Amino acid sequence: MMNIVITGASSGIGAALATLLASEHRILAIARSAKTLHELATANTNITAFPADISNITESQFSSFLSSAGWSHIDVLINNAGSLINKPFLKITDEDWSEVYQTNVFAVAHLIRIAFPYLKKSKSPHIVNISSMGGVQGSVKFPGLSAYSSSKGALTILTECLAEEFKEENIRVNTLALGSVQTPMLAKAFPGYKASLTSEEMANMIAWFVKEGAVYFNGKTIPVASDTP
């Protein structure tokens, strides 16, 4: 049984993934929506709710919460939380840029840093960053997603850098670049659009990768898309 931290766990892929993995593993589910998280935890005894904004979690808060949950180490950290803004480039404000990069890049780096001491204690630590095909060089890009896609591009490079830096600690770091998935975030950004994959279907693939991917990959960005070039 592994100890797995999942961010953005209150809806969409994060909630589906937490529910799926909780059948075999202990899950620390992090999201800003306390009500939804607690409903998720109530439905499964292997899920512990940690309502928080990942950008603002302090090292002491994180340590205290892990201690109260009885965790001495983290086996897998899944950075799933994301922010998507669909606006033409010339209409994206400085605040929009800050919001997207804060969630998609800076908060990820922050959480990895404070989780690092606990990942080091695992026998097979693995960091899984959830990115997008929009952040992959050479893929088709879509109008209105310059902030989102460029932030995900930054995440893929961060993955490569950390995989190199963490080699001595044997911490594997990989990114899954997802194509379109029918989530609340996608529906809000693209009203009326219907993705070919559901959150539950994508969660099945991610769950496999969480358990097996570190054996085969390190520092890689792996496209997971059925309908996005």
User: Catalytic residue numbers?
Assistant: 148, 152
DSSP state of 72: S
Between CA 50 and CA 158 the distance in angstroms is 25
Phi/psi of residue 182, each to 5°?
-75, 95
Question: Is there a contact between 76 and 125 (Cβ–Cβ < 8 Å)?
Answer: yes
d(CA 21, CA 76): 11
CA–CA distance, 211 with 193 (Å, rounded to integer): 31
The token duo for 61 is 């808060």
Q: Which residue has the tokens 């800076």?
A: 106
CB 92 within 8 A of CB 85: yes
